[in-house]
Amino acid sequence: MGTVFHSSSLTILTTISLGLLLYFIIVTAALLVHCFYNESVALTRTSLLISAFTALASSVTSAVLPTSIHPAARSAVFWISIALIIPAILILKKGVPINKLLIHFLQLILTAGVLLELCVFLSKILWEDSVFYSGYAAQYALALPLFVLISLLLYKCFIVKKLVLPFRKFENMLVRIYLSLSVLFHVLLIFVDVRSNLSNISFLLLFWSLKLLASTLLLLTPLFIVKNRQSAYFNEQSLRNESFLEAELVASNLYREAQADTRSFRHDINNHLTAVSMLMRSKNYEKAEEYINTLRGKISALSPKIVTGDEMLDALISSKLPECGRNHIRVRITGVIDGGLGWKPIDTCAVFANAIDNAIEACSKVANLPSREITLSFRKTGYQRIILISNSVAAKVDCTPLNNDVRVTSKADAGNHGYGMRNIRKTLASYGAMMQLSCTDTTFTTTIVMGKQIGA
């Protein structure tokens, strides 16, 4: 690439165009890494502005350097700024260990290198010479807007929506096939001598057919890979929403059954009292006491086992009790929510079904059965309502990624999991609530803080 600066026709406009093109290639690479491989590689407005200024400054500096300076030195100024300093600016974050920053840097450099090579290859297909060797700014007119457009699409479709879709094994396999085909087509174009076969119609037809096939595959295959990953993600989301609806349905059915049993008992209470009165009048006290004890048993069965102050939450927790019992997990409730949550039922399920399922999964991994416990605590202060969901853990969990909204999962199919906490946080945000996670060696705690007027 150093030969860019050997051309005497090099102008400031040409160099700036090349610098901006390479800048957007690196930005696109960073967005791709964030969305599909490592969401820790996140761009900020400040880093984008500083890196853009660096790209512009290095381009202008390289173009205005005196011709007496060796071309290699002029080239080094440009490429060190573009290939090393800009990626470093984009991935630099406070509090991130050096080894992780190095991994992020290498991921970004490799992805940008692949995009650069694909850009060169596409330009060879569309034109006889690469845009990087033509030395004329107009040749960048197609490549630059293309990468600007890709960057904007990634930003709008993924970054704004806080959506990341880490590639699974299948998508990674498709990426490898895609890159292998790109290399194969590139090699064929390099070694095929077109000029010596201009009179051979069959050869030219085959050659241009190959070019058309290569360009079509290069442009459409990435769209297919992303669409495939999106379909898998939304299918998973549909299944998750379906599980929430099922939890809501189970909880609602339990609530209706409890209400029906209560109404039935109230309907029969006069008859029960009449029977007890008759036994007392006939001085059959033992039978009367036995009858009263039977009624007490029925009343105890009708009394709700879970009382939080929110009927939907009561029913939801009650629906989880059988699973807790099978896993030898004790459930404790302390405090109540005065006036209830005031949330939509599906939102209650989205938050608490997720949280309780996570708690059950964590408790099930604790070897000591008597230590398995889930506690839901409801508190209030003068201006806030606080909900604490605590559960036993087998080992301490690092909550930093979770509190930073980084997707984390312990499941084998990581590509389709790890969205539970993110869904909880998103639902809570819609009600103006916040969530903080903490963990000791034995207990994981989810703290939910919301305004005093819940649901208002």
Nearest-angstrom CA–CA distance, 417 and 411: 7
Higher pLDDT, 182 or 456: 182
| Fold of the CATH domain 305-456 | Heat Shock Protein 90 (3.30.565)
| pLDDT level of residue 8 (50, 70, 90 thresholds) | very low
Compute the distance between CA of residue 345 and CA of residue 252 in angstroms, rounded to an integer.
Answer: 9
Q: How far apart are the first and last CA of the chain?
A: 61
Mean pLDDT for the chain overall: 77
% of the chain surpassing 70 pLDDT: 75
Task: Give tens-digit pLDDT for 97-152.
Answer: 888 888 888 888 888 888 887 777 766 666 554 444 444 444 566 778 888 898 99
Domain ranges of the chain: 2-164, 305-456
Answering whether pTM is above 0.75, one says: no
pLDDT of residue 134: 46
Per-residue pLDDT for 300 more than 70? no
- CA–CA gap between residue 47 and residue 214 (Å, rounded): 35
Q: What is the pLDDT of residues 428-442, one digit of tens each?
A: 888 888 899 999 989
> Which tokens in the block code for residue 243?
């599980």
pLDDT at residue 27 in the model: 92
pLDDT digits (tens, 9 = 90+) for 228-262: 777 777 777 666 666 666 666 666 676 677 667 66
Count other Cβ atoms within 10 Å, centred on residue 237.
Answer: 13
Flag whether pLDDT at 390 surpasses 90.
Answer: yes
Helix (H) or strand (E) holding 288: helix 285-302
Among 62-76, 232-246, 263-277, 308-322, whose mean pLDDT is lowest? 232-246
Q: In DSSP terms, which residues pair with 391 in a beta bridge?
A: 374, 444
* Residue 303 backbone dihedrals phi, psi, to 5 degrees: -70, 135
Alpha-carbon distance of 287 to 292, in angstroms, equals: 9
- Asked if 89 and 58 count as a contact pair (C-beta separation under 8 A), the reply is no
Q: What is the pLDDT of residue 248?
A: 64
Give the mean model confidence (pLDDT) for residues 81-96. 83
Average pLDDT over residues 351-377: 90
What's the token pair of residue 160?
Answer: 């704004």
The per-residue pLDDT for range 28-61, each reduced to its tens digit, is 999 988 888 877 787 888 888 998 898 888 888 8
